[in-house]
Amino acid sequence: MASITFREVEGSSPKYWMLFGFLGLFVLFGALAWNYMHHHGHVVTGMDNQIVWGLPHVFAVFLIVAASGALNVASIASVFNKPMYKPLAPLSAVLSLALLLGGLLVLVLDLGRSDRLIVAMTNFNFKSMFTWNVFLYSGFFVLVGIYLWTMLDRSVKSYSKAAGTAAFIWRLTLTTGTGSLFGFLVARELYGTAMLAPMFIIMSFAYGLAIYLMVLAAAYAWTGRALGDAVMMRLKTLLVVFVAAVLYFVVVQHMTSLYFTKFHAVEAFILRDGGGLTTLFWVGQIVIGCVVPLVILLSSLGRQRTWIMIACALVILGGVAQMYVTIIGAQAYPLDMFPGLTEKSSFFDGEIHAYAPSMPELFLGLGGVAVALLATTFAVKVLRLLPASLDDATVAKLEH
Amino acid sequence: MSDMKPRSDSTPASPERRRFVGAATATAAGLAIAPGVMLYEVAHGRAEDQAASSAVRWGMLVDATKCATGCNDCVSACSTENGWTPVAESKHPKQAPQWIRKLELQDPLTQMETNLPMMCQHCAEPPCVDVCPTGASFKRADGIVLVNRHTCIGCRYCMMACPYKARSLVHEPLNDTQKPDVPRGIGCVEACTFCVQKVDRGDGNTACAEACTAAGHNALVFGDMNDPESEISKRLRELPTKQVRADLNLNLGVRYHGI
């Protein structure tokens, strides 16, 4: 097998520092947004006692789900022994760590008492899925960190497969945990199903890979390194499978709910009567997130780099829309405490709850995205993560 | 505390002394005439150093057939007792905490209307306690579900989990209406406590139930569901009652008649 030369990105060009500064600006905006929310309380957000998890959770859960998915490329290399993916693995591991970091930051900075983070780290209730997730996230950092070490340090290279396998199993558990945050809720009609765990796993495959592809293509284009079609086409095909699987899960979930009379009202709300949420579901999640990318990637357009990038961007946008519908939609629909009766109260019982995200929420969420991208931008400068060339000839040698 | 004692001792009309004299008289009278009443008091009052006991299960009966349309006395009493701003006075009604609210139900087919107060149902198997990452949501041995103000991190997972929408997040800095025995705080989640401060004082009743009785409706009965002789137990034996979302099998501390 041919060897691959990994090299740091030089990172001294004005373009690099402009990217760095641009992302840094959004990190700063995120920090200011947090400071504003923390100082005044959640009263300055669009959240209330009806919509208790808002836009920050949409960003946080999306980033956390995408984080485990971004590790996929590395897993294919080590766990499933595909040599072509080996040179792609270090970036995959770093990106997954960076995305998790960004997502977790948004999650903890949106707490009502984010100053009490230490309490969450020292007081545990092991029946809570949140507590489990605290350990799953910490374990992910450790395992992927070790895995990355085995890839970058020749002296421990022999442990790479073991570390990669452990990280792979862990990432499946982690996304199961993230899906179960919602799956383990008895109160809401749209949650409370084991389906959410596998569905979140398949979504993580799609979102993580879409982000990975965009970061990879950007890194190679901006550093002037060669990225051959062999790599892009292989990853593109993988993305098609994942996006199709996401669509399959979404269809099965809604078909199942539609069969149960007790879910008819909530399904009608999401699929037909929900106004903005319904639009977000059909246009955002289904058309932009699944159908259009599939059409692009499966048609002749999918052979062009630009169109692959557009498809990836659409998958990411669709993913954010999906998280919005999943998280906000389930809360917007009122709790049905007295089935068959109409409810009215000063606490907005029986009403569809409106939600308009505020600017601080948006910037807190974007801050998390910026942290993830900034960490990746920094990592490719200081670590040898990217092969000097991924042209078709180099890649072809790997397979033989 | 120790430096307060001499002062109270030196003042003949001090509250301590008055309370002592009162208690002594009550004890003497109680011992002389009604030992049964004394036993009742021992079971329901609780010294500060004494843990809550699972021998007691605090609960409430809501008789929806007696709950008056338009009457909001239970809600006002709760707000006054526990120091939360009534929603009508709040600048941010959607974000204002509401520990108890009046629900108006209507059957769309028959037009039958029902009124009832809705609050924390003090489940024996509370979903909020299950999901709380830090253990801040907890259930006392006597069945009262509470939030520990010091370990709540404001994650709102309990609000997602509660089937009764019983909990509120304090969205903004609190004004000075806070009561010394009802600690609250910005960024923390809160809900009905069954007036735990009153229960622990030995009042044996909640502010809402007292207000309902005072208004002459008698729709709320609070008491120990484990004591077969308590009024609530007697009434629960006679009246057919239901638990809201009984399908979840959470074994609620609040039982409704007439729904």
When pLDDT is cut at 50, 70 and 90, the band that residue A362 belongs to is very high
**Claim to verify: residue B64 and residue B10 sit in the same structural domain:** no
Amino acid at B47: A
What mean pLDDT do residues A100-109 have? Answer: 97
Report residue A85 as tokens: 């993916």
Chain A positions in Cβ-Cβ contact with residue B152 (cut-off 8 Å) = 112-113, 116
Instruction: Please state, in angstroms and rounded to a whole number, the distance separating the CA atoms of residues A396 and A265.
Output: 55
- Please say if the pLDDT value at position A151 is more than 90: yes
Chain B positions in Cβ-Cβ contact with residue A344 (cut-off 8 Å) = 103-106
Chain segment B171-209, per-residue pLDDT in tens: 999 976 789 999 999 999 999 999 999 999 999 999 999
- The rounded percent of chain A whose pLDDT value lies above 70 is 99
When pLDDT is cut at 50, 70 and 90, the band that residue B29 belongs to is low
| Closest CA–CA distance from residue A197 to any residue of chain B (Å) | 17
Whole-number pLDDT of residue B39 = 45
Beta carbons of A116 and B105 less than 8 Å apart: no
When pLDDT is cut at 50, 70 and 90, the band that residue B15 belongs to is low
Whole-number pLDDT of residue B73 = 97
| Closest CA–CA distance from residue B162 to any residue of chain A (Å) | 6
- Please say if the pLDDT value at position B149 is more than 80: yes
- Please say if the pLDDT value at position A294 is more than 70: yes
The length of chain B is 259
**Claim to verify: residue B136 and residue B197 sit in the same structural domain:** yes
User: What CATH architecture applies to the domain A6-398?
Assistant: Up-down Bundle (1.20)
Beta carbons of A131 and B118 less than 8 Å apart: no
Report residue B157 as tokens: 């997972």
| CATH number of the structural domain spanning residue B144 | 3.30.70.20
Q: Are B59 and B253 in contact (CB under 8 A)?
A: yes
Tokens 């009567």 identify what position? A273
Size of the A and B interface in Cβ pairs below 8 Å: 173
Whole-number pLDDT of residue A187 = 84
- Please say if the pLDDT value at position B5 is more than 50: no
Whole-number pLDDT of residue B42 = 43
- Please say if the pLDDT value at position B36 is more than 50: no
Longest dimension (CA), chain B: 70
Instruction: Please state, in angstroms and rounded to a whole number, the distance separating the CA atoms of residues B30 and B20.
Output: 15
Instruction: Please state, in angstroms and rounded to a whole number, the distance separating the CA atoms of residues B28 and A269.
Output: 66
Q: Which of residues 98-137 of B touch A (CB under 8 A)?
A: 98, 101-108, 114, 118, 127, 129-136
- Please say if the pLDDT value at position A105 is more than 60: yes
Name the residue among A49, A116, A127 with its Cβ closest to that of B95.
Answer: A49
| Closest CA–CA distance from residue A271 to any residue of chain B (Å) | 22
**Claim to verify: residue B189 and residue B220 sit in the same structural domain:** yes
Q: Cα separations (Å) of B202 from A55, B19, B196?
A: 45, 14, 10
The mean pLDDT of chain A is 94
Q: What is the pTM of this model?
A: 0.91
The residue in chain B having the minimum alpha-carbon distance to the alpha carbon of residue A134 is B133
Whole-number pLDDT of residue A4 = 82
Whole-number pLDDT of residue B177 = 72
When pLDDT is cut at 50, 70 and 90, the band that residue B7 belongs to is very low
Chain B positions in Cβ-Cβ contact with residue A127 (cut-off 8 Å) = 130-131
Phi, psi at residue B73, to the nearest 5°? -60, -40
Residue A386: strand, helix, or coil: strand
- Compute, in degrees rounded to 10, the torsion defined by CA atoms B215, B220, B222, B226: 150
Angle formed at CA A242 by CA A238 and CA A245, multiple of 5 degrees: 140
Report residue A218 as tokens: 């950007």
- Please say if the pLDDT value at position B27 is more than 60: no
Q: Would B142 be classed as within a structural domain?
A: yes
Whole-number pLDDT of residue B37 = 45
Q: Which of residues 142-201 of B touch A (CB under 8 A)?
A: 150-157, 159-165, 167-173, 186-189
Chain B positions in Cβ-Cβ contact with residue A348 (cut-off 8 Å) = 94
Whole-number pLDDT of residue B189 = 98
Q: Would B167 be classed as within a structural domain?
A: yes
Residue from B156, B170, B248 whose CB has the most chain A CBs within 10 Å, to mutate: B156
**Claim to verify: residue B127 and residue B81 sit in the same structural domain:** yes
Residue-number span of the structural domain to which B166 is assigned: 58-257
Whole-number pLDDT of residue B127 = 96
Residue from B90, B171, B251 whose CB has the most chain A CBs within 10 Å, to mutate: B171
**Claim to verify: residue B157 and residue B247 sit in the same structural domain:** yes
**Claim to verify: residue B34 and residue B160 sit in the same structural domain:** no
Instruction: Please state, in angstroms and rounded to a whole number, the distance separating the CA atoms of residues A173 and B119.
Output: 36
The residue in chain A having the minimum alpha-carbon distance to the alpha carbon of residue B242 is A338
Q: How many domains are contained in chain B?
A: 2
Strand partners, B96: none
The residue in chain A having the minimum alpha-carbon distance to the alpha carbon of residue B91 is A43
What mean pLDDT do residues A369-391 have? Answer: 95
Chain segment A191-209, per-residue pLDDT in tens: 878 889 999 999 999 999 9
Phi, psi at residue B58, to the nearest 5°? -70, 140
**Claim to verify: residue B169 and residue B244 sit in the same structural domain:** yes
The residue in chain A having the minimum alpha-carbon distance to the alpha carbon of residue B151 is A119
**Claim to verify: residue B20 and residue B147 sit in the same structural domain:** no
Q: Would B220 be classed as within a structural domain?
A: yes
The residue in chain B having the minimum alpha-carbon distance to the alpha carbon of residue A122 is B134
Q: Would B50 be classed as within a structural domain?
A: no
Chain segment B81-132, per-residue pLDDT in tens: 999 999 999 999 999 999 999 999 999 999 999 999 999 999 999 999 999 9
- The rounded percent of chain A whose pLDDT value lies above 90 is 88
Residue B168: strand, helix, or coil: strand
**Claim to verify: residue B101 and residue B137 sit in the same structural domain:** yes
**Claim to verify: residue B157 and residue B205 sit in the same structural domain:** yes
- Please say if the pLDDT value at position A133 is more than 80: yes
Whole-number pLDDT of residue B2 = 39
Higher pLDDT, A206 or B13: A206
Q: Are A366 and A26 in contact (CB under 8 A)?
A: yes
When pLDDT is cut at 50, 70 and 90, the band that residue A397 belongs to is confident
**Claim to verify: residue B150 and residue B27 sit in the same structural domain:** no
Whole-number pLDDT of residue A356 = 96
CA A215 to chain CA centroid, Å, is 14
Beta carbons of B94 and A348 less than 8 Å apart: yes
**Claim to verify: residue B63 and residue B118 sit in the same structural domain:** yes
Residue B139: strand, helix, or coil: strand
Name the residue among B153, B244, B245 with its Cβ closest to that of A112.
Answer: B153
